Homo-oligomer: A and B are copies of this chain.
């Protein structure tokens, strides 16, 4: 027990609640940055065990067995699971700090359950099959006390060079923008891939274009970077494209919608 008491506040021991896409990226990043992860919780035994093993932690699949001996509890759960589990998790240690990692969930999900509340939102797309460099990820922190905000800033700063304070309201906007810039963009990649596949062309030829499209907005505002038939007002090409999409009314509708947005913005 003594060991717990002596842990410096800027180097808290951690319980990680979740073993999904974010957790499998966050746990090694925390561990590599010198944090001790005491325990990993997941309702799936295999996920809990394998992630715990990677970072030298214990694990459990039972919410009732979540350790009371951590200083900082970080949840990385599906947004629908968090409201159910938050009261259970927050009850295990009344002195500890409880933070979630979700863009769209308010900090006050902890209200009435934990005295020390916070959020640590790493804005990135995480997949289990792919390890990302946490050092490049913007992390947005929030807390209900200046001391804990400073603590979360200190923790986040060991993971990343880009750490910002953000309110619940700002984080919601960041997450919404991220859905457009990342999730919907990836959906467009999928459509492009389907179009190419239908014509026996490999998706790989699209990568230099995808890379340059992303690189371009590092130096030009997205509006200045816009090119293509809609930006040029090239009606003949757009009509031909719509005809090619005739067998996919959903894609055709999307083509119309986005071309109109580009055309309206280019005027």
Cβ contact within 8 Å between A79 and B176: no
Q: Which residues of B sit under 8 angstroms from A78, Cβ to Cβ?
A: 232, 234
Instruction: Kindly state whether residue A8 has any CB partner on chain B within 8 Å.
Output: no
Q: Which among A125, A185, A236, A250 has the highest number of chain B CB atoms within 10 Å?
A: A185
A209 touching B127, Cβ below 8 Å: no
- Secondary structure type dominating chain A contacts: helix
Does the CB pair B205–A123 fall under 8 Å?
Answer: yes
B229, A79: Cβ atoms closer than 8 Å? yes
Given known pairs A181-B210, A206-B181, the reply for A186 and B222 (CB within 8 Å) is yes
In residues 190-206 of chain A, which contact B (Cβ within 8 Å)?
A: 190-193, 195-196, 198-199, 201, 203, 205-206
**Which B residues lie within 8 Å of A130 (CB)?**
216, 219-220, 225
A188-B188, A205-B123 as given contacts; A183 in contact with B216, CB under 8 Å: no
Tell me if A61 is interfacial: C-beta within 8 Å of chain B.
Answer: no
Complex Cα distance, B132 from A170, in Å, reads: 35
A246 within 8 A of B: no
**Candidates B162, B174, B190, B262; contact of A183 at CB < 8 Å:** B262
Partner of A172, one of B207, B212, B244: B244
Q: Which residue of B lies closest to A190 (CB)?
A: B222
| Distance to closest chain B CB from A242 (angstroms) | 10
Copies of this chain in its oligomeric complex:
2
Q: Give chain A's interface residue range (CB within 8 Å of chain B).
A: 35 or more
Quick one: given A188-B185, A209-B125, A220-B129, are A179 and B241 in contact (CB under 8 Å)? yes
**Complex contacts, A226 vs chain B, CB 8 Å:** 183, 186-187, 190
A50 contacts B by Cβ under 8 Å:
no
Q: Given contacts A183-B229, A258-B184, A261-B187, is CB(A234)–CB(B80) below 8 Å?
A: yes
In A143-164, the 8 Å CB interface with B consists of 162, 164
**Contact present for A182 and B205 (CB under 8 Å):** no
Cα–Cα, bound, A173→B196 (Å) = 7
Extra pairs beyond A123-B209, A183-B229, A207-B218 (14, CB < 8 Å): A79-B236, A125-B216, A125-B225, A127-B224, A130-B220, A170-B201, A173-B244, A177-B206, A179-B229, A183-B231, A186-B225, A189-B225, A193-B222, A210-B217
Give 22 pairs: A residue, B residue, CB < 8 Å, sorted on A: A78-B234, A79-B236, A123-B208, A124-B209, A170-B201, A172-B240, A173-B244, A174-B196, A174-B205, A175-B237, A176-B241, A176-B245, A180-B191, A180-B195, A184-B258, A185-B185, A186-B217, A186-B225, A187-B222, A193-B223, A207-B217, A257-B257
